[in-house]
């Protein structure tokens, strides 16, 4: 069972808690770009570089890691990342499609 609430008009708390048979994962606010993760009360930090200019989105300097991976793959002549291969990206997209299907979310692009 899951509960998810979001709003474009109201600022809500944005942390996440995931509980299972092996423990609890806590994702601190903002959950879409956290800099730490707590698994069974053990916190691990994932710091992002300090921005040199103002940012449009919280912690968006963390995107530099994705950009760096793409650059390294291009320099090595690789068609995909060994860190995140196409098969993993497709699996994630399929999982997201299935989650949307199960909760009844339909986007206009889905009907084309």
Mean pLDDT for the stretch of residues 10-38:
86
Q: What is the pLDDT of residues 87-96, one digit of tens each?
A: 999 999 999 9
Kind and range of the H or E element at 5? none
Angstrom distance (rounded) from CA 57 to CA 48: 13
Angstrom distance (rounded) from CA 2 to CA 7: 17
- pLDDT of 109 over the 90 cut: no
What's the pLDDT band for 42 if we cut at 50, 70, 90?
very high
Q: What is the pLDDT of residues 48-68, one digit of tens each?
A: 888 888 888 888 888 888 899
Q: What is the pLDDT of residues 68-85, one digit of tens each?
A: 999 999 999 999 999 999
C-beta of residue 48 within 8 angstroms of C-beta of residue 59? yes
Angstrom distance (rounded) from CA 55 to CA 30: 15
Bridge partners, 37 (sequence order): 44
Of the candidates 36, 62, 31, the residue with the CA atom closest to the CA atom of residue 49: 62
Token pair 């793409």 is found at 70
| Domain 16-50+58-103, CATH | 3.30.360.10
Domain ranges of the chain: 16-50+58-103
C-beta of residue 34 within 8 angstroms of C-beta of residue 28? yes
């Amino acid at each position: 069972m899951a509960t998810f609430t979001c709003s474009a008009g109201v600022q809500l708390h944005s942390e996440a808690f995931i509980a299972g048979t092996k423990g609890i994962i806590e994702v601190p606010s903002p959950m879409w770009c956290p800099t730490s993760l707590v698994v069974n009360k053990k916190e691990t930090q994932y710091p992002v570089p300090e921005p040199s200019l103002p940012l449009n989105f919280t912690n968006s300097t963390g995107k530099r890691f994705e950009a760096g991976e793409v650059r390294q793959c291009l320099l090595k002549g690789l068609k995909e990342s060994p860190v995140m291969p196409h098969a993993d990206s497709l699996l994630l997209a399929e999982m997201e499609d299935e989650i949307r299907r199960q909760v009844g979310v339909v986007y206009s692009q889905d009907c084309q």
